[in-house]
Structure formats: structure tokens, C-alpha cells
Chains A and B, each alone.
Chain A
Amino acid sequence: MSELSQIQVDLNSYSFTGRQSAELPDFSSLTEESKQELRMVGVDVDAVGERAGTFLQFDHSTVHCKSSGKGVEVLGMRQALEKYDGLPEYFWKAMDPEKDDFTRAASREELHGGYFIRTEKGAKVAEPVQTCLLIKGQNVGQNVHNIVVVEEDSEVHIITGCATSHGVTSALHLGISEFYIKKGGKLTFTMVHNWGEDVMVRPRTVGIVEENGVLQNNYVLLKKVRSVQSYPTIYLNGEGAVARFNSVIVTPTGSHVDTGNRIVLNAPNTRGEIISRTITTGGTIVARGEIIGNAVPARGHLECKGLILGGGLIHAIPELQGCVTGVELSHEAAVGKIAQEEIEYLMARGLDEDEATSTIVRGFLNVEIMGLPQELRESIDKTIAELDASDAM
């Protein structure tokens, strides 16, 4: 099998039933190890009160769901479907269940949960809402559906961690996500992945942004995973809508990550930007990106930069499609290695080779621009530093 061909998933290898967990009213009963797992993907377990809301899914159960009640509602998906009569405006409305094998599987298999997050009109939610979808059992198949509704002129930052527990090597995560950003709404959506080494991940995401709405999407994947394949698509349907994607991806040997973003500029004065920074230390990365310009004036920019450190493969596939006169789309792609000149410059300042390398790598990945809360940034920095030491740079 070539490095670039798709990794096949056998749905029958995973159990989609029988992994129920008891509710977790607070985090005092969690072991230090579990807390650490949650912290790694951005869940602040120590100061839950400083979050606008917290949602936790373990395997097939929603175990914790709370919101401060200030401008934002956070519900488990099953609860939300009950409360809002099946969410007829939102559930499977942006996403077509017939899109591919995984959307079909997700619509057919038992729904395990996921979150429903909705802001109140005009609410500027100051603290992030944090959610975590955790797989705790070997060979568990997790099927979640998430819906985010950002009402008119409101703002929220959602931090989502998706992970497997320590010791779980194999699992399948299916996740449908639908984002609805209404007029003048702003969603910052930060997703941190931290999987076991044989885990298969098949998220499917669609977002619709109305007039002057903004989606800022951040994605961080630094640890080994068998295969991730995802290609979120965002439709900028209202005039002045903006979408920005920042991705930071590292693949150690054995990881196969095929990911990218698609932005469709459907209205005048829309802007789309896709920036990815990828590093392989032996694994395979297919870094995709597509901007489609269907209206004018509209602008899009795509930037894929990859570093190959000690083997591996990066295939950057930036695509631009302009369908009308006057659309402005551009892209920049580069795959290379760390320049010796940069390492020597830092060594001349007294940094040894490892320090110099990790300093350059950290700068290259440039997690800073995501504007993440401090604890999450520190946790990511720590992972990057560890990765340098262990992954043959």
C-alpha cells in the first residue's frame, strides 16, 4: 500500500454498544492521571468555575454537562434533541448524512452523545466553554454529534479536546459537527487531539456563516495516531463573513494524517484564510486546502508549510477555484527542512543543537497566533519540547 492511499477503517472491529459510564458531578473522584489526560487537551479541571461551561463525554455516555448560565447553553446532544423536538433546524441540516461511508455510519449507528452549545443573542461569553470527548476502552467505537449555534452578535470560544485514555491503543472516533454562525456572530473553535497509536479518527464537519459572522478555527495534533482523515467545509453565505483556519500537525512514524479545510466564498466581501504548519518525524501528512470563490469581491489565502525531520512524507495539496471575474485567491506552499544556518545562528548564542532545533520548531509551529488560554498553550509547548527530545531530530 502506498503512503498516500487512504487507510481503510473496518467498522466491525469496534464496539458501538455497552460502554456506559456513570455521571461525574464533579472532578474530585478523577485520578490524577485522568486529570492530566484532560489537561493535555485543554480541559481545565482545576478551575472549572472559570469556564463558561464544561462538557465531558466518556465512551458512550455524556458524564458531565454544566454551564455558568451566562449567555450560553451547554447540553448533551441526546438531551438537546429531546428538549428541542429533534432540533429540526440544525440536526443533520448543514451536513448531508449520505455524504460518505462515515456520515452514513454515524447516522445509522446508535448516537452516543456529543454536545449542543448555543449562545444567547448578543452575549459576549468571556470565558471559554470546554468540552472533551474521551475514549476510555480498547476497541471502542464512539459516535458523537456536535452542534454549535452562535446567535446574532454573540461571541464564544469553545475548546474541544478529543483523546483516548492512557493505555487505549485502538479505537474509532466518529464525530459529526455542525456549526451555525448567525449574523455578526463570532466563534473561536479550538480542537486539540491526543490519540492512542492505533486509533482511527473520522470527524466530519460543516459550518455555515451568515452576514459578518466570523469563524476562527484552531486545530492541534502533536501525538501519534494511526489515521486521521478530516476535511471541514465552511460556507461563507453572508456578506462580510470571515473564516480563518490555523492547524498545527506533527506526525511521528506510524501516523497517517490526511487533513485540510475547505472554504466556500458564497457572498460578496467574504474572506477565507487557511494556514497549516506541519512537521513529520517519520509519518505521513497530506495537507489539503481548498478555497472556492463564487462571489465578488472576495479574497482567500492558503498557506501550507511543512518540515520533514528525520524521514516521513508531506504532500501539500493547495487548491484554488475561482468561478467569477474579480475573485482574489492565492496560495503559498513549501516543504523543507530546518535550515542549518538557523541552527548555527542559535548555537552561536550558546544553545546546543537540541535547544536550537526545538526553538526553531516552536517558532515554525507558531501556536502563539491561535491566542489560546495560558494553561493550554503551556501544555502544548511542553508537548512540543518533549517531541523534540524523543523524535529523532
Chain B
Amino acid sequence: MLQIENLHVSIGEREVLKGINLNIDEGETFILFGPNGSGKTTLLMTLMGFGGYTVTAGKIVFKGVDITEMPTYERARLGIGMSFQRPPTIHGLKTRHLVSMCARGREIDVEGMARTVNFDEFLDRDINSGFSGGEIKRSELLQLMAQNPDLILFDEPESGVDLENMTLIGNTARALLDGASSPMPSTCMRDLRRRNKTSGLIITHTGYILDYVNADRGQVMYNGVLCCDTRPTRPRDILDHIGKYGYKECIRCLN
């Protein structure tokens, strides 16, 4: 589904990603760990193609297409969806309207979808205007449900979320990724099978999301490179390891 080869990315003069190699298969969910400032968000932004993130070497291939130079909206239409950590407020743009635009002409039940993430009461509010941390997460998930992407990029799904909302967000993320407990009962079988193939790339510090999604593999980003690719890379083991020893193990591994 996604192949990243020797990716180098600079922000301004500064090289932030220094040769990333990563494959994510169809239906696979990959977990990205790493200390603050190591470049995790930068990788997601680069995958989405935002301005300010300059690819100086390497390439990104999605569904067999080299998307390294592709504009953001084409990547979205090709099937990459992202949950934003701090999305901007757009005044005068109703959440309802944005959600229906995410579907790009496909018939969707906005109200029904919103109810599954407990967000129907927000549909008539301007998007992100005064949304709390947990509300932003639900709004982002709702947009992703409408968008129905094949690869979901999720930056710290648990940040700023209370326990009750964590369950809702975790279950919704899972549903988006594996389609098993589909939030959309009306989805036809073809779509279900298609959604079985949804891949994920999730950044987490706490690992709470691991209680909900079937994460296959993970790695630690450290100072712009991915480490421990030769070790057992079950996300839980990595998390335990970081918990016990901190990130200094990664430094050793890199050296």
C-alpha cells in the first residue's frame, strides 16, 4: 500500500527526516513511537504533501503511484486520509457541510455517521470553532468516515481525550481500520471488503490506542531516522521497552 524509500525532508534549512524507509501493507496498521521533536509529525505532513516540507531525496509510493510530488488533494483523492492534531477553525463553514464535502459526491448519511461518534449536535457549528480536544478528535474521525480512505494517518489519537471518549475514539478508529464493527450498518459487502484493506499509520506516546486497534508492527523514530528494524517489533514490546529503559536503547541501536 505505502512504500517510503530513503526519504529526506527539510523544513526551511533544517533537515528533519534523514533517510526514512518504511513499508505498510494493505490492511496493516503501523505504530510510530519516538521522543518529542524526533520528526513523527513531520513524516505525516510530508506524506500528506503540505507546504514547507521539502523532500530533498527519496520517494513515496502509494498504491503503486509515485506521489512524492503530488498535490495534497490528489493524494487525498487517491485514498490517504489524515486526522489533524490541531486543525484550523474555518469561520462560516458548518461541520455538516465539510463532512458532506469529504464524501466527494458519494451518497452518505451525515447525521447517522455523526451519531456514531456522538457528534450530531455539533453539525451546525463552524468547523473546529471552540471545539475541545476530544471534540476535535471526534470531528476528525467523522470526516475520515465520510472520506473513507485506504490509508489513515493518525497523530496521537489519545492526546487530550478523557477515558470515556478514548473508548469511543478507539472503537471508531478500529472500525475505520478493519471494518469489522462497522460504524455504518448500511455499508454494503463490497465496501466492507474494501475497507478490510484499510491501512493505518498511528503516532502514539502512551499506547492507549493499542487497546483498540490491531497493530501489527511498530518502530521508534529517533532524530529523524527509524530504529530497531531488526528486532521484534510488536508495538506492545516497544512500548514496554521504552517504559523501562527510555529512549536511550534507541541511541545504542542506532550506533
- B-binding residues in A (CB < 8 A): 339-342, 344-353, 355-356, 359-360, 362-366, 368
Contacts and interface: CB of A to CB of B under 8 A. Distances in A.
B110 to A, nearest CB: 14
12 contacts: A346-B90, A346-B101, A348-B73, A348-B76, A348-B84, A349-B76, A350-B76, A350-B147, A355-B101, A363-B92, A363-B126, A364-B92
Interface string B72-105: 1100110001101001101111000010011010
Nearest to B104: A350
B73 A350 contact: yes
Mostly, the B contact residues are mixed
Contacts of A346: 90, 98, 101
A364 B98 CA distance: 14
- Chain A contact residues: over half helix, strand or loop, or mixed? helix
B72 A344 contact: yes
Nearest to B126: A363
A346 B101 CA distance: 9
Contacts of B147: 349-350
Given A346-B90, A350-B104, A362-B92, 10 more contacts: A342-B90, A344-B51, A346-B101, A348-B48, A348-B50, A350-B76, A350-B147, A352-B71, A353-B73, A363-B90
B96 to A, nearest CB: 12
A359 B143 CA distance: 16
Contacts of B48: 348
Contacts of B72: 344, 347-348
B206 to A, nearest CB: 25
A353 B50 CA distance: 12
Interface residues of B, number: 24
Contacts of B87: 345
A340 B88 CA distance: 10
Interface in B111-127: 126
Contacts of B92: 362-366, 368
| Residue of A347, A351, A353 with most partner-chain B CB within 10 A | A347
B82 A348 contact: yes
Given A345-B88, A349-B98, A350-B102, A360 B76 contact: no
A340 B51 CA distance: 9
Nearest to A367: B92
Contact of B91 (A340, A345, A349, A363): A363
Nearest to B51: A340
Contact of B76 (A342, A347, A353): A347
Given A347-B71, A347-B73, A350-B76, A360 B93 contact: yes
B93 A349 contact: no
A362 B127 CA distance: 14
Contacts of B50: 344, 348
Nearest to B102: A349
A349 B88 contact: no
A82 to B, nearest CB: 47
Contacts of B90: 342, 345-346, 359-360, 363
B73 A359 contact: no
A339 B77 contact: no
A345 B76 contact: no
Q: Select the residue from A349, A352, A366 with max chain B CB neighbours within 10 A.
A: A349
Given A339-B88, A345-B87, A359-B101, A351 B73 contact: yes
A369 B100 CA distance: 21
Closest 3 pairs between A and B when the two form their complex, measured CB to CB: A363-B92, A366-B92, A363-B93
Contacts of A350: 73, 76-77, 101-102, 104, 147
B84 A345 contact: yes
